[in-house]
Structure formats: structure tokens, C-alpha cells
Structure 1
Amino acid sequence: MKRRSMISGILCFILFVISCGQVYAEPVQSGDKFTYEAPLTSSNVSLSGVTAARTLYVQLEDYWDVNTLTLNLDYQATQLSRREVSSVTLKMNGTAFYSFRPVVDEQKRQTISVAVPKNLLVSGSNSLSIEGYIVTHLPDQICVPVEKRDNWLELYKSSYVTVNYSKKDIGESIRDFNQRFIGLDSLEQGLSALSVPKDSDPAELEAAIYALSGFAKGNRSENNSIPMLPWGDSTLTERETVVVVSLYKDLPDQWKQALGQVSLADKALIRVVKSGGQTALIVTSEDPALLKKAGRLIGNQTLIDQLDGAEKWLDADTRVETPKISVSRNVTLTETGDKLNGMMHQEKSYFVSLPANRFIAESSKISLDFRYSDNLDFDRSLVTVLINDTPIGSKKLTKEAANQDQLTLTIPKNLEVSGNFSVTVAFDLELISAGCIELQDQMPWAFITKDSMLQLNTKDRTDLLFNNYPNPFLRDASFNKIAVLLPEQLDSYGYQTIGNLFHLLGKYAEANTGEVSFYTDGKLPGESELQQHNLISIGSYKDNAWLQKNNSKLFFQYGSNGEGIQSNEKMSIEENYGKRIGTLQLMESPYAKGYAWLAVTGASSKYSYLASGLLATDSAKWKVYGDGVVTDVDGNTKAFRFKKQAEPKDQGLVAQITERGDVMGFIVAAGLTFLLVVVSLVLMIRKHRKRAGGES
């Protein structure tokens, strides 16, 4: 009996251990639960006034099966707030789901966690509206207080959203792979990477960065980039999804076997395959030109979103180019019109895309067409237009124009707006005797019609400064004749440096038609060819012979032994510290005026990679300005300006006229009219001469 009891006890213990192992095993199946956290806003959000509202956005991936979504709000309300009547209401996609009274405790910020009903969520972008009603003074309990400066609520940038979800099984189509590859959680957790052969052919690198630019455009994260890794990198096998770009002869056997028998002499292939627990998108061909074309196809995200199959074959006749980008155009602010409800301050913002190398030129105008309710206090009501939160003009509202009003404003040239920007239309809808009325959601109102337009004229930025980056490496939203000068041998840091630089450039490159060429030290083209290119050099003094020849032209130069960077007129650099820093230097090309040279360099490839990280994402780029930047492993970054600031030149009259389409149209019309008058006069004179001759 004792033996049986002992055996039974041992069996129970074994079963217990097994069951424990099952309970605490790491989740690996597609149905397992995951958690994703993301900030709600990159800066503090201020709600000022008795009634105010702001809209934030929450992104949910298509392949997420969301279980719960929780808002974690850090806020502080004015210390004068009357809590018994003040409130904050939250709306998701236009539907209210939670209201609370803000807590006031001296200078302490407050935290509240709110679960959002699942039925209000949609895949993609979700709008979260935060509407505040902050009351500080109640002279009469039945009256609404007038708006004051002490009515405020601050939502801090530490607020975040928590999403608990499970992943749907990854589909077999190229579109499904694309969504998973650039998913917010995939990039946050380092599950995606683009891979190339260890000793890549220039055509393979070119195809890879065209593909990378497409994925970068689809990347909605401002903090995470997609790494480019060579085969053999130790972290590559840990990636859940990988993009493999290679000539067929260089493909590893693993991926050749996954493809099976294929004929690629005059074709390129893009195919989703699975091998060894990884899902891969293979981009390959035996023809270098077709491999580049396949890379450009991925650079066209509109086409990628249309590929429902697991593979795409390309040949010489396949069209992959994006449409031509218009840089001076009329932009419609709203397709159907937008209504704003409620008294006091109400606003609507519009996002306008613009190539990063272009800035708003003179004569750009905004024409606002709108109407509003006629029960306003017209002595105090007005509309204001703002560009990137900077007001450019206002107009007083009137009862006579309530049913159809217009406002035309010229955008000031001193705003110096470049790249994407926002247009905000803000109404101050004041009511007569607003102190003692009952608030109603639908009263008063304003409506912005679909006839509201932005007449956008743009110019290139020409100053070689990181303030204007990525100019001049992009022109009209496309790669602008870039030549990348590489060391003879690239290690993993070198490939990641290339990936960093072209991730941000690719994010800004809306078109896939630009030109990028890669050259190594031993295969540099002639000087005459490099004269027609903007240059990017990667590597140190010792591993990049071209950089060594042009060391004297650097702002931060290497010493005679090439082991480290020396002091200059802007910065004192200790000898050993000069061996542990990376630099970014933006200069004029040594071959031709009007072209740029970006040197990404450090004493070793590790420090070149460190410097390139400053130009990999939008969140890092803000540290970079001037034309010379130094960074170290401790996160210290210093930016300097070496080139002298050029005196502003007045634009010639002819150039100003040619920039303005409306003026050119008027001149052409006036010229034709003048010509018609001259011809008419000549004909009349001839007619009268003939008549006079006949009479005589």
C-alpha cells in the first residue's frame, strides 16, 4: 500500500509539473493575447475656456482582434474649477461613452483609466474627442458663466492607450504580408526586417531601398524604423516577417527551396513564402533591371494594397510608376463639408501634404466658404484661420452674410512652412446674454462648405541645412539623383546605416521614380558623372578611400592618422572622445555647385550607424539642425552651423510673375486682347483708306 501510495504521489507530482508547464508556457499560437501601448499625443493638449474640444486619433491594425481598449488619461484642471458642475466627456468616432468630473488637488496631476466599448471601435484610424466644460464661477446657479482665461484643463503627453488583442492568422496575399510587416506592434517589438546579401551587388541595394521606401511610407510610427540587415546577422532569425531582396544567384538555399522551380531570366518575382517559422516576401530576379523594377513596385504602396494574391510576376512591360506629383495646385479642404456645433470656441483642422523639400511660396491663398447660425452676438463672433497653429487672419461674422460668407487670405511668406502642414479654421461663436442660457449641443453652429480651397504655390528650399532636410536629396517628392559612396566592405552596421538614411528619405518620397546609385571604393564612376549627383558618403577615414581624399573639405576632419575626429572652430574634441563620436555633415558637392554632399561618418562603422539614427525617424530628426552634427553613445547631440548665412535676395520681377499662375493668365489674356485690338485697328485703317481712295 505504501508503495502504491508513493507511486500515486509521484504520478500526481509529475502531472502537476506538466500542468504547471502548460499554464506558464510562453504564448506562441496566433490566438494568444498581446498588449500594445501607445501615447495618445506627442505634446500636451490644452482645453481652454468654458467649453472646448480636441480630437486625438487611435490606430488599430486590420489584423488585430481587439478584446479591450483602455484610455489612461493624465490631466490637471484649473485649481478654481467647480467640480460639482464641471465635466469632461469622451467620444469615440462621434459617440459619447464616458463623462467624469475632473478632480482638483492643488498642483497634482490626476489619472483616470476608462475602457472604451468594443462596438465603437473600427479597424484603422479611430477619432477620440475630448470635450471639456470647465466652470470656475457661478454667480447664479441657473446661469452659465462667461468664458474666462482661468477655465482650463491640461491633458498631458504621458497619457496613453492600452490595447489587448489577439492576432488573426497572417494571410497568404502580398497585401496581408504588407499590413503585418509595417504593423505598429511589429515595428515596436522588432519583428520586421528587410534583408539583403552580405556582399550586395549595387543593383540589389538599389532595389532594396526602393522597396524600403514603400514600407517606410506605410509606417505610421514616428519612433520606429525598419532595419536593413545582411544575411548572417544574428538578429535576423528572430524576426517574424522578413523581406528578402536579392538576385536569384545570391538567394540562400532556404529561400530557393521555398520558391521551388522558377524561371527568372526575363522576369522578376514577388512571392509570399513560409519557412522555418518565418513568413517572408521574396523579391528576386536574374535580371538586375527587373529586380530594381520589382523594388519600385513595392515603393508604390497603392499597387501593393491591390495585390490579393500570393505572388506577382513582372516583365519589361509591367507598369509600376506612381503618378506624377503636382507641387503647385488647388487643394480642397473638405470633400462634403464640415459642421461645427456649440457656442464659444470651435475649430476644425485639415491636413495638407506637401513634398518635404518644398515650402509655401508667395501668392498662396486660402479661400474659405462658410455659413453660420444667425442668432450670434455679432459684435463678438469671428472666424480665424491658422497654419500650423499660427494665425494668418480673421474676419468678423455678420448677420447679413450668415447664409453665405467668404474669407480669402494670402498665406504670409515669412511663415516658412515646408513639408506637410495643417490648416485650422476656428470659430468663436458667441451668443447674446450667454451668461444665462441653457447650453444646447446643436446651437449655435457653423458650416464649412466643400467650395473652400487652398491655392498652393511652392518653391524649392536651396539652403544646404539640416533644417531643410531631406532637401536636396528629394525633389518634388522623389529621390533626386543620389549617389551613395560606400566602403569596399560593409559590415552589419554599414547596412543598417543605409537602412536608416533611406527609411526617412523613403517616408518623404511620395513618388517611386527617382534615381539612386550605389558605388564602392573600387568601382567609382568618373568625376563627370558624379558632378550630376547629390552625394552621400558612408564610412570612416580608414575604410572609405573617397572620404579620405576629401577629408580637408569636412567641417569635422580626421587627424593625420585617421583614428579620430579633431577639434575645430566650433567644438573642442579630446583625442579619445574623437574616436567615440559619429557626425553628420551637409556640404556642397566637391564636384559641382548646386549639388550636396552628406557625410555620415565616425571612427568606426558603429559610430557612423549611431549618427545615421538621427536621420532615421521623425522623432529623432528634431535634434538635427545647422549643417554639422556630433553625437555620442551617451545620447549627447550637438548641432552647429558652419556655412555663412547668405543674404536674402529679392526675387526678380519676371521670376515672381512666372511663379503666379493667376498673374500669368491675366497677362496672356491682356496680351491676346491687345493683339486683337491692334489687328482690328489695322483692318479699320485699311478699310477707311480704301473707302477714301474710292471716293477721291
Structure 2
Amino acid sequence: MIKKQLLLWALCLSLFLSLLPAASAAAVLPGAGRLTYETAFTGSDTALSGGAASQQLFTIMDYWNVDSVKINLHFQVSQITKDQVSSITLSLNGIPFHSFRPSLQNNGEQIISITAPKGFLKKDSNTLTLQGDLKTAVDNNQVCYVDNSPDNWLHFFNTSSIAVTYSSKELTGGISDFSGRFSGIDTVKNGKSLITVPEQATGAELESAAYALSGFAKENALTDKTIAMLPYREDSIKDRSAVVLVAMYDRVPAELKSRLSTAEDLGTHALIQLLNKDTRPTLVITSQDESLLIKAGRLAASTELMSQISSDLKVVDDATQADEPAGSISSEVTLTESGDTLTGPNHREQSYFIALPSNRSIADSGKISLDFRYAGNLDFTRSLVTVSINGTPIGSKKLTRELANGDTLTLTVPKNLNISGNFSVTVAFDLEMESAVCTPNTEQMPWAYIDKESLLQLNTKDRTDLLFNNYPYPFLRDGIYNHVAVVLPQEMDDYAYLSLGNVFNLLGQYTDGNTGDIHFYTDDVSADNLKNNNILAVGSYKNNKIIRDNNNKLYFRYSKDGTTLLSNEKISIEEQYGAELGTLQLVESPYGSGRGFMAVTAVNAENYYLASRLIASEKDKWKVFGDGVAVDKDGNVSAYRFKTDTGAKQDSALEQIVERSDVLGFVVAVVLTIALVLVALLLLIRKHMKKRGDRRET
């Protein structure tokens, strides 16, 4: 009887649930509208020995409503760790929030998830610190603890991650809000942002789009993802959440044109207008005047200017200020604005990032002047400070009790470091304690302080060798576009647009200002237009005349019918294999001395697109060196150096002196001294001759 009643109740309940509307079930789904962005631990696996700490950075975007932050740890501890006295502590932005004792089960390997407090988060960059306090020996008398640091290791695998669950805020701001989302890490990572132009875009449309793409790419914080460029079509935009369209006004699609402002004369104005905020936000850059369309593209390339536009519409005319000049290269760089304190025993480091244009390298006579002080209770027989550049030590100094309240260190930057572009300076203190074996570990003692008077005297020189080692030179010089002429294939398919987008993604990340110039040409361009430009030719032997005309100057040359690439002195190429190779080739321009010619080329478009991906982001840039690079469909990359003389114009002695302010001052002083000596000698000779004349008269 009871069983029959239970069965009857179950049938009634099932019937009731089946009658509920489907919308009610969807409404109670957990996590509806929520997204998760996961940041993997950077680099390779991290090893922490003893009480060392490791830091992992992650970003919180301004437009995120954060629901939770979860730390997913995959790690292993030494198998002889004493788990009852060892611990691991997690801190968020310097505030500890969780400690636990590692387990020795499963050979010391463990996977755990820990929820971090939202209240400790900051906008933009956040720091997760992992502190290991591992012990492999315990003193039975509990008086003094001795440990062997190589044995007490803690190993975090790069499968560890920081997962942020969030929902996106409504796009209530204007152009500045859109710009931040367009280059946001979640938008770019998921391939949701897109730069578009009309089908068979004109030179002015592509030039304006290239500037705009450069600005958005510069704000892209991801080193392995890019912002695509494609023609504006329904199939190319349907899965995107943020779109930029750059087009002459008469080529703007009707559904967008009907929403554009009609208050301005587009013959004398350009518009940067945000449309469709509630559906698919689209930023339209348009004008009836080509020069104003290009100017509007330059303005879009300025992160600073775009961040200041809170409205949905920006009108550009001849009087609009759009240029953002490149920053100057200072000969003296302050390492720290307000001073930095390092606390705790043993090895402590402070790193400083130095920004330098990619075509600049450190010249001779660079110096680092370090002003610092430190605790007076150190073991001065073992304590020292070491300075490194890009991980290479350049000098050390022993710490002394007498100079603890004010010490200095001056080091010359070695000539053989061959540093170009951005680099880092690391100041490391080894703060060893007296009787450290029995000294309790404390984060506040001992300490060292790096004073704000610490300076890097930076002398630089231009790297003008036509090699991919110096890329993006020659297309960028000191952070601005350096007379760039892009020669397009006869037919622009999606691969051609994507290849252009790849090239300007990486170039954009290296820009420092929106000046300089880019021009786009079809392959029937005259030699006069290419004479004073650095040429970027995209296409194949058959669809790009500039590549075809200069085939004999390439390192990977085409066969007479253009159906395959031929063997050369570096590599033997089978006919079918040569038909599937994509290449990057950097040669001296055949149209003007001192200029470069880069061919992004292959027999078919799909393969030259594969080649363009090598110079699309920092992730693959390291694979590209020498002056000729080949990649096959399986992703195998081969880089070669063909020319011994790179053909680049070298700086004259006068140019090198002018660039070195210290040498210039010395030369001027010497010249003035010599001039004064010569004037004095002339006056003495004149006086002496006059006296001789007087004696003859008497």
C-alpha cells in the first residue's frame, strides 16, 4: 500500500514538473550571464626553494563585475618535506588570505582550489604571491632548526591558474568605454574584436585602418592573440562583440549609414561614431574626404585621446589635434620614483623595466649609479648587492657595516650584452643574518632600501642592419612608422586582409606615437613612389608584380612559372614542398639605397598567411631571425642569414657623436680649447712681429 502511494506521488510530481514553462527552468540556471577568464601561471614550471616567494600577475578589467576569484594550484613538494611543520601561504596584492599545510600523498603532488577575497582586488593589474615555508628537518629539542635548502623544494606546474568569474557591465560610456572593451583581454582572447574595411578597400581606407589597428593593438596585453582585419560582411561580423569599420562614407553599409550623424558636412569633416551599443557595438570611422578619413584613423590610434572621449560621437576636421608624437629618449633614466624597500633575509630582488625603441641598442659607456642603504645587523662577511641586466650580472659589491646608512655602486654596462629594445635592470640583495641558523624568520628584518637618486645613464645607438633580429626596423624607427609602402596583391581575399592585420598587430605594439606614414599601393605602383620608402610586399609570384619583378633579388626564389620555390645555398627544396612553403624575406630595397624590402610571400595565399603569423605577436617573434625565414604547413620554421653585408646605412662618425651628449660636450670643449690656443698663438706671433718691426726702424 505504501509503495503504491509513493509511486502515485512520484507520478504526480513528474506531471507537475512537466507542466512548468521552459522559461522558468532557464531562469534559475546557476551562473547565467557569467563568464570566466583564466590566467595560466606564466612561463615554465616554478620552483620555490625554502622560504622563497613567487609572484603571478593577473588583470581585472574596468568593465567586469567580479563574482569570484579562484586560485587553482597544481604543485608538488619535496617527498621528504615535514608536512606538520611546513606551510604554503597565498597573498593577494600584499595581503595574506590563505595558508595550508601541503600533503605528502601521491608523491607530494596535489591539486587544490582556493577562493580569494574579492575585497583585496584592484582594477587593472593584481599580484598573487605564493610563499613556501618548507622544512625537511626538525630539531627534537625545538631550540634550533637547520635545513638543507636544495631538499625543501616546492614546484608549481604551469597548469596552475587564476580563474576570475565575472559578468560584463553595460556599455554606458561612449567611445572611451568601447575602446577599453575592444582591446580587453577577454574580448581579444575569445576573438570577439574585429577591424573591418569595405570589400576591395581603397588605399585611404587601409591606411586609416592600419593606424587605428596599431592603436588598439598597442593596448592588447596578450602576447599570443591578435586583433583580426577582414572586409565588413555579415559572415565576418556575426560572432563578434566589438567591431570597428573604417570606410569612405559612400561605402558604409546602409544599415549603419542610416544611424550616422547628419549634422556635419562629411566633405569637410570626418566622424568617429559609436553605433548599436545594445546589440553589437560598432565604431564607424568615415568621411567623404580621404585625408580626413586618414586623420580620423590617426586619432583612433592615440590611446590617450580615445580614452578622453566619453560621448558616442567625435567630429574631426582640419583644426582637430590628432598627432601624438613619439616620446623622447632620455640619456638619464630614474630607476625608482620614490625609492623601494626590500625586507626579509636571504636573497631579495627588485626589477625595473626600461622602455627603449626596438631599433635602439645600448651603446658604449652606459653606466648604472646605485644609491642604497641597508640594515646594520647583517653578517657582513656574506652579504652583498648584485646588479643584472636581462638576467646577466654586470657587477657586485660587498656590503659593509661602515656604509650601511649610505652606500653607492657605479657599474659600467658591458659592451657585449647586445641589448636592443626594452630590457630590465634587477638589483638583488643577499641579506645574510648572523647566526641565521637559530634566527626566527621575519619579513621585516633585515632590510635594504634603493634610493630614488639611483640612475641609469643610457647611451643608445641606432640598429640599422636589415635583419629580422632588429625587426620591426626598418618599418618603425624610434617608435613611429618609417616611410612604409605596402604593395598589395591584385586580388585581396580574406587571407590577404588577415596577413595585413597580422603584420600591423605586432608593428602597433611597438609604436610610440601615431605619427610617421604608411601608404598602400596596388602592384602596378611606379618605382618613383617606392624610391624613398621601406617596402612591405604581400602576395605571390603570380598576383603581385613587385614580387615577380624582384624575384631574382629574393633568397627563396620562384620557378619561372611561379608554381614552386627553388632550392638555394641554405636549403634543398623538393618541388611539391616548395609549393607549400610560406616565406618572410628582408632584402635591401631595389628602389632606393638605405631602405628595406620585405616580402611576405608564398605560392598561394594560405601559406603566406602562415608566414605572416610569425610576425603577428611576441609569442612567435623569437622564431624569426636572420634575413630569410620559411614555414611549412606543419608549422616547422627555418630561419637563415643569407647576406654577410646587411646593406643598411651605417651612422657616420658625426651622427654617432651628435647622438652621444657626453661625447658631444667633450668634443665641443676640446674644439673651444684648441680655438683659444690658436687665437692666443696668433696674437703672440703678431705681437712678436710688431716688436721686430720696431727694432728695425730704430
What is the TM-score of this pair, normalised by structure 2?
A: 0.91
Secondary structure, counterpart of 2:504 in structure 1 = helix
Q: Match for residue 83 of structure 1?
A: 83
Q: How does 1:151-170 map to 2 (within 5 A)?
A: 151-170=152-171
Instruction: Give CA deviations for 1:520-577 in whole Å, capped at 9, x if unaligned.
Output: 023x03x233121111111111111221121222222222221222333333333333
Q: Match for residue 309 of structure 1?
A: 311
Q: How does 1:129-208 map to 2 (within 5 A)?
A: 129-138=129-138, 141-145=142-146, 148-208=149-209
Q: Match for residue 323 of structure 1?
A: 325
Verify the 8 A CA contact 2:342 2:348 in the aligned structure 1.
Answer: yes
Verify the 8 A CA contact 1:171 1:177 in the aligned structure 2.
Answer: no
Q: Does 1:218 align with 2:219?
A: yes
> How far did 1:226 drift?
0.4
More divergent stretch after superposition (210-219 vs 509-518): 509-518
Identity of aligned residues (%): 48
> How far did 1:109 drift?
4.2
**Residues in 2 aligned to 1:343 and 1:613: alpha-carbon distance in whole angstroms:** 46
Q: Match for residue 618 of structure 2?
A: 618
Verify the 8 A CA contact 1:56 1:129 in the aligned structure 2.
Answer: yes
**Residues in 2 aligned to 1:194 and 1:68: alpha-carbon distance in whole angstroms:** 32
Secondary structure, counterpart of 1:141 in structure 2 = coil
**Residues in 2 aligned to 1:501 and 1:647: alpha-carbon distance in whole angstroms:** 23
> How far did 1:651 drift?
9.5
**Residues in 1 aligned to 2:299 and 2:261: alpha-carbon distance in whole angstroms:** 23
> How far did 1:138 drift?
4.2
Secondary structure, counterpart of 2:259 in structure 1 = helix
Q: How does 1:63-462 map to 2 (within 5 A)?
A: 63-104=63-104, 109-138=109-138, 141-145=142-146, 148-232=149-233, 234-261=235-262, 262-274=264-276, 277-462=279-464
Secondary structure, counterpart of 1:624 in structure 2 = coil
Verify the 8 A CA contact 1:227 1:499 in the aligned structure 2.
Answer: yes
Secondary structure, counterpart of 2:528 in structure 1 = helix
**Residues in 2 aligned to 1:9 and 1:119: alpha-carbon distance in whole angstroms:** 44
Q: Report the RMSD for the aligned CA atoms in angstroms.
A: 3.1
Q: Which amino acid aligns with 1:316?
A: D
Verify the 8 A CA contact 1:51 1:345 in the aligned structure 2.
Answer: no
Q: Match for residue 4 of structure 2?
A: none
> How far did 1:596 drift?
1.3
Change (3 A) 1:26 1:497: farther
Q: Does 1:608 align with 2:602?
A: no
Task: Determine which of 452, 463, 466 is the counterpart of 1:464.
Answer: 466
Secondary structure, counterpart of 1:200 in structure 2 = coil
> How far did 1:77 drift?
3.0
Change (3 A) 1:646 1:223: closer
Change (3 A) 1:687 1:440: farther
**Residues in 2 aligned to 1:25 and 1:263: alpha-carbon distance in whole angstroms:** 51
Q: How does 1:402-551 map to 2 (within 5 A)?
A: 402-522=404-524, 524-525=525-526, 527-551=527-551
**Residues in 2 aligned to 1:8 and 1:115: alpha-carbon distance in whole angstroms:** 38
Secondary structure, counterpart of 1:238 in structure 2 = coil
Instruction: Give CA deviations for 1:421-473 in whole Å, capped at 9, x if unaligned.
Output: 11111100011111111222211000111111111121222222222211111
**Residues in 1 aligned to 2:294 and 2:403: alpha-carbon distance in whole angstroms:** 58
Q: Match for residue 565 of structure 1?
A: 565
**Residues in 2 aligned to 1:571 and 1:683: alpha-carbon distance in whole angstroms:** 72
Change (3 A) 1:579 1:417: same
Change (3 A) 1:370 1:645: same
Verify the 8 A CA contact 1:146 1:434 in the aligned structure 2.
Answer: no
More divergent stretch after superposition (140-149 vs 203-212): 140-149
Verify the 8 A CA contact 1:53 1:346 in the aligned structure 2.
Answer: no
More divergent stretch after superposition (624-633 vs 90-99): 624-633
**Residues in 1 aligned to 2:479 and 2:546: alpha-carbon distance in whole angstroms:** 29
Verify the 8 A CA contact 2:326 2:513 in the aligned structure 1.
Answer: yes
**Residues in 2 aligned to 1:155 and 1:649: alpha-carbon distance in whole angstroms:** 48
**Residues in 1 aligned to 2:407 and 2:180: alpha-carbon distance in whole angstroms:** 44
**Residues in 2 aligned to 1:8 and 1:94: alpha-carbon distance in whole angstroms:** 53
> How far did 1:38 drift?
1.8
**Residues in 1 aligned to 2:184 and 2:95: alpha-carbon distance in whole angstroms:** 27
> How far did 1:278 drift?
1.0
Q: Match for residue 8 of structure 2?
A: none
**Residues in 2 aligned to 1:319 and 1:125: alpha-carbon distance in whole angstroms:** 31
> How far did 1:69 drift?
0.8
Q: Which amino acid aligns with 1:468?
A: N
> How far did 1:681 drift?
8.8
> How far did 1:587 drift?
1.6
Verify the 8 A CA contact 2:326 2:478 in the aligned structure 1.
Answer: no
> How far did 1:14 drift?
4.7
Change (3 A) 1:269 1:464: same
Q: Which amino acid aligns with 2:617?
A: T
> How far did 1:415 drift?
1.2
Q: Match for residue 3 of structure 1?
A: none
Change (3 A) 1:643 1:495: same
**Residues in 2 aligned to 1:55 and 1:8: alpha-carbon distance in whole angstroms:** 54
Secondary structure, counterpart of 1:68 in structure 2 = strand
**Residues in 2 aligned to 1:677 and 1:638: alpha-carbon distance in whole angstroms:** 61
Verify the 8 A CA contact 2:594 2:648 in the aligned structure 1.
Answer: no
Verify the 8 A CA contact 1:79 1:106 in the aligned structure 2.
Answer: no
Verify the 8 A CA contact 1:41 1:159 in the aligned structure 2.
Answer: no
Structure 2 unmatched ranges of 5 or more: 1-10
Q: Which amino acid aligns with 2:445?
A: M
Change (3 A) 1:37 1:650: closer
Verify the 8 A CA contact 2:326 2:512 in the aligned structure 1.
Answer: no
Change (3 A) 1:404 1:24: closer
Instruction: Give CA deviations for 1:621-674 in whole Å, capped at 9, x if unaligned.
Output: 222222222223322222222223779999997676555322332343455466
**Residues in 2 aligned to 1:156 and 1:312: alpha-carbon distance in whole angstroms:** 48
Verify the 8 A CA contact 2:380 2:399 in the aligned structure 1.
Answer: yes
Q: Which amino acid aligns with 2:572?
A: S
Q: Does 1:58 align with 2:54?
A: no
Q: How does 1:647-662 map to 2 (within 5 A)?
A: 657-662=657-662
**Residues in 1 aligned to 2:273 and 2:646: alpha-carbon distance in whole angstroms:** 52
**Residues in 1 aligned to 2:647 and 2:501: alpha-carbon distance in whole angstroms:** 36
Verify the 8 A CA contact 2:476 2:511 in the aligned structure 1.
Answer: yes
**Residues in 2 aligned to 1:110 and 1:90: alpha-carbon distance in whole angstroms:** 16
What is the TM-score of this pair, normalised by structure 1?
A: 0.91
Structure 1 unmatched ranges of 5 or more: 1-5
Change (3 A) 1:276 1:83: closer
Secondary structure, counterpart of 1:47 in structure 2 = strand
Q: Which amino acid aligns with 1:123?
A: K
Change (3 A) 1:626 1:663: closer
Q: Match for residue 599 of structure 2?
A: 599
Q: Which amino acid aligns with 1:198?
A: E
Instruction: Give CA deviations for 1:486-507 in whole Å, capped at 9, x if unaligned.
Output: 1122011111111110010011
**Residues in 1 aligned to 2:611 and 2:253: alpha-carbon distance in whole angstroms:** 31
Verify the 8 A CA contact 1:198 1:230 in the aligned structure 2.
Answer: yes
Verify the 8 A CA contact 1:254 1:275 in the aligned structure 2.
Answer: no
Q: Which amino acid aligns with 2:243?
A: V
More divergent stretch after superposition (554-563 vs 390-399): 554-563
Verify the 8 A CA contact 1:40 1:160 in the aligned structure 2.
Answer: yes
Secondary structure, counterpart of 1:225 in structure 2 = coil
Change (3 A) 1:489 1:325: same
Q: Which amino acid aligns with 2:534?
A: N
More divergent stretch after superposition (530-539 vs 572-581): 572-581
More divergent stretch after superposition (416-425 vs 631-640): 631-640
Q: Does 1:583 align with 2:588?
A: no
**Residues in 2 aligned to 1:156 and 1:684: alpha-carbon distance in whole angstroms:** 81
